[in-house]
Amino acid sequence: MLHSRHMTRPEMPTNARAAAIEALERAVGAAHVLHAPEDLIVYEYDATIDRALPDAVVFPATAEEVAAVVRAANAHDLPVVPRGSGTGLSGGAVPVKGGVVVVLTRMNRIVEVDAANRIAVVEPGVINLALQETLAPLGLTWAPDPSSQRICTIGGNVANNSGGPHTLAHGSTVNHVLGLEVVLADGRIVHLGGRVADAPGVDLRGLVVGSEGTLGIVTQATLRLVPTPRAVRTMLAIFDTIDAACEAVSAIIRGGVIPVALEMLDQEIIRAVEPRIHAGFPLDAGAVLLIEIEGLAEAVAVEAEAVIEACRASGAREVRSADTQSERDRLWEGRKSGIGAIGAVTPAFYILDGVVPRTLLPVVMRRILARSAEYGFRCANIFHAGDGNLHPNILFDPQESGAIQRVLDLGGEIMRICVDAGGSITGEHGIGLEKRSYMEWIFTPADLAAMADVRSAFDDAGRFNPCKVLPGGHGCATGHADEVARHLATPGVYI
């Protein structure tokens, strides 16, 4: 990944900082407050570009403690930045203006599983995979399954409206959250939504999902569960070119089949993953599609034949089916290990997240690869092809003169390609700090003003996760040029 070192900000006066830390210690206990410089370094970044030191880090254990922390921060005019596992890919957990980072990992209880009503109530620090493993013996699952599910938290999934391979058919996180307990910017604890779908009144639950910690801090979530499918068929379609694989994506859906997952890996990813995972991806393939269908056994059989026919008609040289659970697991291990495997084959990489209409996948992929080649970079692609959610990964050496600037410039051009194709600047990673300046590309000034009004209604002081999602704001850069200039102004550390 690519990281800039630190963003500068005014230092907090020593006396004021000491008083603020004392107040935070009263809220959660001294053992759960970090303020030594060597401890704060760990919480100055997430999994993306920027770094900024907080003034303090706290680890509350209850909603009441979160509320007490917020009130203490307000009393000392400190920003508040919520954080889960720190795996975010848009800078959402970076404390740009310092303040208090509220780490929610101690709040990791699965409070309730109501199998009869298909509901789970969980705290925000519950790891996504831990929830799935708890639900599996009950024949239930929670549909959102990000590739980082081994470490990402439910709170982070809610904050970013995360997706994952299996949300093509099921939808993203917002479709699977029934209710939320939220601490507001004034320290009040409120409950939004409930235990049933379509609760009466304004859908504030839906508004908070995907708000990236700018409207409130989620301290509990009521989740809608779905049954484990009766039958599942996982297939691997092998293509000589990316173009052919992209054409197959539209052909499958045009034929009337909506797979539960439809993922693409190109040759760069395959050559990184296969020697480590041995998933069965041919090293000479231009691209592969990982396709999964679920439902009643009879329907799955019919739809699988339709998928195979569509792939062959689009130029697949082979379509394999996983015959056992272990084969299926190995294919998915190859998919979900893709991003991590890149780190073993390149000194650094920069992951992007854009969305395009799936019918335009062939032309968009050609443009992305052409621009990457013109800049002199390899570009590895692994993404949710079924809903056009792209994840180009720019591979580079940060020691090469000028490489960092060229990476950032190329990243901006790739995002522009997505927008010009009628797409969007994020599918599941969120806007955060990294892409907020791109919001002006897809929303009018009136749209952005309306969003700012909503944010002010929840947090008129702007203390919750400042400089995130919306462009501008007090003390924040105002546009894309300012963002890039800031990234390049300071020597970087790259991992």
What would the pLDDT profile of 159-198 be if each residue is shown by its tens digit? 999 988 888 999 999 999 999 999 999 999 999 999 998 8
Query: Is the same domain home to 346 and 485?
Result: yes
At residue 474, the pLDDT reads 61
Residue 31 lies in a domain: yes
Q: What is the CATH number of the domain that holds 65?
A: 3.30.43.10
Query: Is the same domain home to 205 and 285?
Result: no
Query: Is the same domain home to 279 and 197?
Result: no
Going by DSSP bridges, is the β-strand pair 261-266/287-295 parallel, antiparallel, or unpaired? antiparallel
Q: Which domain holds residue 414?
A: 342-489
Residue 336 lies in a domain: no
C-alpha separations of 224 from 40, 119, 178, 240, 307 in Å: 36, 5, 6, 40, 29
113 band by pLDDT with thresholds 50, 70 and 90: very high
Domain final residue pick, 103, 138, 156: 103
Q: Above 50 in pLDDT, residue 202?
A: yes
Query: Is the same domain home to 348 and 444?
Result: yes
What would the pLDDT profile of 50-60 be if each residue is shown by its tens digit? 889 999 999 99
Residue 196 lies in a domain: yes
Instruction: Look at 449 and 17; give whichever has higher pLDDT.
Output: 449
Going by DSSP bridges, is the β-strand pair 56-58/100-103 parallel, antiparallel, or unpaired? parallel
**What residues does 127 pair with on adjacent strands?**
153
Residue 6 lies in a domain: no
Q: If you write DSSP's letter for every residue of 374-401 in order, what string do you get?
A: HHT-EEEEEEBGGGTEE-EEEEE-TTST
Q: What is the CATH number of the domain that holds 162?
A: 3.30.465.10
At residue 3, the pLDDT reads 44
Query: Is the same domain home to 309 and 400?
Result: no
Domain final residue pick, 103, 137, 170: 103
373 band by pLDDT with thresholds 50, 70 and 90: very high
What would the pLDDT profile of 12-23 be if each residue is shown by its tens digit? 777 888 999 999
Residue 363 lies in a domain: yes
Query: Is the same domain home to 44 and 156?
Result: no
Asked if residues 462 and 210 have their Cβ atoms less than 8 Å apart, the reply is no
Domain final residue pick, 326, 353, 369: 326
At residue 475, the pLDDT reads 65
Query: Is the same domain home to 464 and 363?
Result: yes
Q: How many domains does the chain have?
A: 4
Instruction: Look at 373 and 480; give whichever has higher pLDDT.
Output: 373
Q: Across residues 406-416, what is the average pLDDT?
A: 94
What would the pLDDT profile of 124-165 be if each residue is shown by its tens digit? 999 999 999 999 999 999 999 998 999 999 999 999 999 888
Query: Is the same domain home to 189 and 277?
Result: no
Query: Is the same domain home to 30 and 150?
Result: no
Q: Above 90 in pLDDT, residue 223?
A: yes
The whole model's pTM is what?
A: 0.91
